Amino acid sequence: MHHYLRHFPVAVAFAGLLGAASAFAAPQANAPASAPAQAIAPASAPAIAPAIAPATAPASGPATGATTAVRGFHVAESDYRRHIETLASDAFEGRKPGSAGEARTLDYIEGEFRRLGLKPANGDSYRQPVPLVEITAATDAKLTISGAGASAGQSLELAYGPDILLWTKRVQMQSAVTGSELVFVGHGVVAPEYGWNDYAGVDMKGKTALILINDPGFATADATLFKGRSLTYYGRWTYKFEEAARQGAAGAIIIHDTAGAAYGWDVVQTSWSGPQLDAASPDGNAGRAALEGWMAGENGTKVLAMAGQDLAKLRIQASQRGFKALPLGINATGGVRNLIRRANSANLAAVLPGTERPGEYVVFMAHWDHLGKAMSFAGGGGDTIFNGAVDNATGVAGILAIAAALKDTKPERSVLFLAVTAEESGLLGSYYYGNNPLVSHARTAAAFNIDALHPLGRTRDVTVVGYGASSLEDELQVFATQQGRVLRPDPVPERGYFFRSDHFNLAKHGVPALYIKEGADLLEGGVERAEAIDREFNATRYHKPGDEYSPTWDVKGSIEDLELLYLMGLQQANSAAWPQWYAGSEFRAIRERSAAERVR
């Protein structure tokens, strides 16, 4: 789970995923998140009631084992609990890809799809194979910066770990750059909708991009730049490396700073070292830069000083319109040696065929994987199984509950139920699906992602992660109001949690996506109790063996959230309209380009 208040910047290493157990590190708990900032609603967002506004509570929910029936939504709470209890049981061994627990998980979900009468989405199979590759860079990697011109004779050697983290996405035993000129490219952004191009006028072939994390709006807190303090996709480290490769760069190095990244250098060190799992591609990622990496902030200062530049001043310049990339006249030489291993996992996909427009789709998705078993004692009273009850047995149980509720509704559009693999390793299953879709992205009306339904009880509000994104929020407002609830923007938009869960890999292809989370104002105990529960979960259960199912869970709030998603999905499945990203969204142009495919 990439929770909106807790997030791994990249995946923990999966112990023993592809070979001998001793070759891989045990999962690590996420670094503590800093205190949530004041919520900042994007300017393009529709008006909503204030978050945490008092609301008239709907009637009390059902007791355990009862059936919830609200506006056609029927969920047997006992079935929802049964799915969670089963998937989070010790017999499933933490549902790690490549383990015996994976096989049991896939069999269970496929069995439920069959029982519900859903059709296979991949020909005659419910499974979409997902090839994975794991690359481990040797720790003797280094990067040497050599001066030229006025700095001729100077050099700076950056060591792997304390100074720099280096890797390559290219699936090859060695990769390097030699005498590659460094070019400071500011935030490394090409965003036509914002009138921004940091690479304008520079040829990056054979050169190494030196890049700032986040985007100009965050750096300046200027609401007129991008989305102000709310992070856009252009501020994500994933985008930085992808764009540098598109520009033909031989190397791409991000200069770390804690505020911009939302995590410290220690998190970079633990997250980007050791085995790195990725989705395999036919060309072995040949189009990526030869070297990618993070550079500690103080070393960024030193490197730019060698070129006669001041990093603090360049940060300001790079956040102003009209910034031009700056060739630094100094060179980088370095490389990595790799250990490469391969394996296969699988996404699961089932379809409820539409009665009127079966070639159009609504998607419900959740990741089925978790962290497996620890290599040694990892807390939890000697328990070494990362059961992942909240994260994300609840999400899988959620899509199964919605499938059961929809199966007899005869929707006009088809509904795709997608359980994806390897989310905990960086959204890899959904990334693979995004690049190899089983149904047309252009003909997918909307996607609804379920990632961790916390058993907090019922709330007065609903958190919309990435609030201000698409017209789906207008419809959500209506259904939430019917429940006596209000919409609440996620409290830390500058951290970009919208881009850190599986729906993002459909949004990148233009599909309007909605990602909601539990509210923050409990009917019983209010904000204070919700925060206390959240702190306890983060400290003792999140990505720990303590994330286990309990029959004492209060799931009534989760059932209400599922009702919202059911109503949203049913409306989209019976509509001829196409939801759209709001103006200014980085995904709107992609969606508009796909419109022609829908009228063929």
Give the chain's largest Cα–Cα span.
Answer: 77
Q: Is the pLDDT of residue 342 over 70?
A: yes
Classify residue 149 by its DSSP letter: G
Q: Is the pLDDT of residue 578 over 80?
A: yes
Whole-model pTM: value is 0.80
Q: Is the pLDDT of residue 60 over 80?
A: no
**Contacts for 458 with CB less than 8 Å, ≥ 6 apart:** 57, 61, 522, 523, 524, 556, 557, 560
| Confidence tier at 295 by pLDDT (50, 70, 90) | very high
Domain residue ranges of the chain, discontinuous segments joined by +: 21-125+353-598, 135-340
pLDDT of residue 221: 85
How far CA 170 is from CA of 163, 331, 341, 423, 433, in Å, comes to 22, 22, 13, 21, 20
Beta bridge partners of 157: 144
Contact predicate 367/388, CB 8 Å: no
Ranking 62-76, 305-319, 558-572 by mean pLDDT, the lowest is 62-76
User: What are 402-426's pLDDT values in tens digits?
Assistant: 999 999 999 999 999 999 999 998 8
Q: Is the pLDDT of residue 17 over 50?
A: no
Here the tokens at position 505 are: 């890999």
| Confidence tier at 229 by pLDDT (50, 70, 90) | confident
Contact predicate 474/391, CB 8 Å: no
Q: Is the pLDDT of residue 145 over 70?
A: yes
User: What are 531-557's pLDDT values in tens digits?
Assistant: 999 889 888 888 889 999 999 999 999
3-state secondary structure of 32: coil
Residue 237: phi and psi, rounded to 5, are -60, -35
Element containing residue 386 per DSSP (H, E) = strand 385-386
Measure the CA–CA gap between 215 and 482, rounded to whole angstroms.
38
pLDDT of residue 596: 84
- E-strand ranges in 108-154 read 119-120, 127-137, 142-146
- Report percent pLDDT > 90 for the chain: 71
Q: Which CATH architecture has domain 135-340?
A: 3-Layer(bba) Sandwich (3.50)
User: What are 178-214's pLDDT values in tens digits?
Assistant: 999 999 999 999 999 899 999 999 999 999 999 999 9
Q: Is the pLDDT of residue 6 over 80?
A: no
Measure the CA–CA gap between 470 and 338, rounded to whole angstroms.
42
3-state secondary structure of 166: strand
Q: Is the pLDDT of residue 28 over 50?
A: no
| Confidence tier at 482 by pLDDT (50, 70, 90) | very high
Measure the CA–CA gap between 591 and 509, rounded to whole angstroms.
7
The CATH number of 21-125+353-598 is 3.40.630.10
pLDDT of residue 1: 56
pLDDT of residue 57: 34
pLDDT of residue 277: 85
| Confidence tier at 484 by pLDDT (50, 70, 90) | very high
User: What are 82-108's pLDDT values in tens digits?
Assistant: 999 999 999 999 999 988 999 999 999
Q: What is the mean pLDDT of the chain?
A: 86
Q: Which of 533, 551, 529 is nearest to 541 (CA)?
A: 533
pLDDT of residue 126: 98
Residue 58: phi and psi, rounded to 5, are -70, 170
Q: Average the pLDDT over 438-446 and give the result.
A: 98
User: What are 242-270's pLDDT values in tens digits?
Assistant: 999 999 999 999 999 999 998 899 889 88
> What DSSP string runs through 500-534?
GSTTHHHHTTT--EEEEEE-SSBTTTHHHHHHHHH
Measure the CA–CA gap between 335 and 325, rounded to whole angstroms.
24
